[in-house]
């Protein structure tokens, strides 16, 4: 990867490059094969990026015409702040581009977008076994100390 990646908002023309990244992200978190997301979820997720009424956004990182990574983020209200909060929901880079600044560039651009939207903070989650990503995250943010509990309905 000779040049720093270009990070930009996703465009409708990016679908064929975005889909393998999306599939890779989901496979990384065990959502593949029999546990894969329903195709409808992928379709709705893609459509939300281009719906002005949705608070869901996507960035891609590219170099030499190839997509190397994605970041999906959304804004929501909070009971502890007046300004919106930004949740970086999905961050993924190709295996070959890891450790080369792609994830850092995507996070930086999410920070910029959140700041422009007046957000008071950006936060995200990762799995406790995602040690490689956490080395980056520890450099660009602070651990909150909170654990995530959930119940699927």
CATH number for the domain harbouring residue 79: 3.40.630.30
Residue 2 pLDDT greater than 70, yes or no? no
Q: What are the strands, taking DSSP E only, across 37-104?
A: 56-63, 66-76, 85-93
User: Model's pTM, two decimal places?
Assistant: 0.93
Higher pLDDT, 146 or 45: 45
Query: Quick one: average pLDDT of 122-151?
Result: 93
Query: Quick one: average pLDDT of 5-22?
Result: 97
Please tell me the predicted confidence (pLDDT) of residue 66: 95
Structural domain that includes position 100: 6-140
Is 38 contained in some domain? yes
| Average pLDDT taken over every residue of the chain | 93
Strands lying side by side in the sheet with 121-123: 6-9, 56-63, 66-76, 85-93, 121-123
Residue 119 pLDDT greater than 80, yes or no? yes
Residue 32 pLDDT greater than 90, yes or no? no
Residue 1 pLDDT greater than 70, yes or no? no
Q: What tens digit of pLDDT does each residue of 76-89 get?
A: 999 999 999 999 99
Is 58 contained in some domain? yes
Is 18 contained in some domain? yes
- Count of the separate structural domains present in the chain: 1
């Amino acid at each position: 990867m000779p040049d720093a990646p270009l990070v930009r908002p996703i465009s409708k023309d990016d679908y064929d490059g975005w889909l393998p990244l999306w599939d890779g992200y989901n496979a990384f978190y065990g959502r593949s094969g029999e546990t894969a997301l329903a195709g409808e979820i992928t379709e709705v997720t893609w459509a939300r990026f281009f719906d002005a009424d949705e608070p869901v956004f996507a960035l891609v990182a590219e170099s030499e015409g190839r997509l190397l990574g994605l970041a999906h983020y959304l804004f929501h209200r909070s009971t502890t702040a007046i300004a919106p909060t930004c949740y970086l929901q999905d961050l993924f880079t190709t295996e070959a581009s890891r450790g080369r600044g792609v994830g850092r560039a995507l996070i930086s651009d999410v920070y910029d977008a959140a700041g422009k939207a007046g957000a008071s903070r950006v936060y995200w989650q990762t799995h406790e076994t995602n040690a490689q990503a956490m080395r980056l995250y520890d450099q660009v943010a602070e651990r909150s100390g909170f654990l995530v509990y959930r119940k699927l309905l």
